[in-house]
Amino acid sequence: AHSMFGCPSEVWTCSFVRGDDNVVMSGADDCSLKIWDVRNTQRPSHKVGDSEFEAGVTAISSHPSLDHIFAVGSYDEYARIYDHRKMSKPLSKVNVGGGVWRIKWHPTCWDSSVVAGTVNGDAGKLLVAAMHAGCRVVNIPQLNEYRNEDVDDGLCGDAGIEILNEFTAHQSMAYGADWVWFGSPDKSEAAGSCSFYDRHAFLWDPNGHR
């Protein structure tokens, strides 16, 4: 699926895309993101290479409720948001300070009734494990107003993505991160993260409250 210098390249991540059961995405150490049609895997239907990515593509996460939207992480320290129908450039991207190894959408993203038309919701909120930089809580506010039929070059732009909070207590690279969601009645939340070499796990407040 991926190669570099004439040899097979490590594939770090793959995912289906919501909205089209025939589309699979893959990312690898060859600095490329590839889009595949499972009905014809001889060659990718689209490739985004080193003109966009400066290092290996390490994480892909399809939005749980918004068709065609997915997040991509790379060793180049950027988290990017794409619409798979329009791959010429990311809808938005942000530097999170470290290589991106894990991306998790906020738990409310799984409820399409909450996501649709929720101007002040969490449809664009992500938890990112950024290796030596720790973890970041990232938000794309415009996704709260996005509809599955929308395809708009001006949807986000770089100014439309923001870092809400960071967690830097890890003394080693943060590889794992996920939300801890308590749901009703108060819908309280926490973030959990873990690091490799120092074998630490933390539970922390993603909203930055002490």
Q: Do the Cβ atoms of 182 and 205 come closer than 8 Å?
A: no
Residue count of the chain = 210
pLDDT, tens digit only, all 210 positions of the chain: 665 445 577 889 999 988 888 999 999 999 999 999 989 888 888 899 888 999 999 999 999 988 889 999 999 999 999 988 888 889 889 999 999 999 999 998 887 665 554 445 688 899 999 999 999 999 998 887 766 555 554 454 554 789 999 999 999 999 999 999 876 656 678 999 999 888 999 999 998 754
Residue for token digits 């101007």?
A: 119
| Spatial distance between the Cα atoms of 170 and 193, rounded to a whole number of angstroms | 9
| Spatial distance between the Cα atoms of 27 and 101, rounded to a whole number of angstroms | 12
**Confidence at residue 98, expressed as pLDDT on a 0 to 100 scale:** 97
Q: If DSSP codes are grouped into helix, strand and coil, which group holds residue 158?
A: helix
Residue type, 99: G
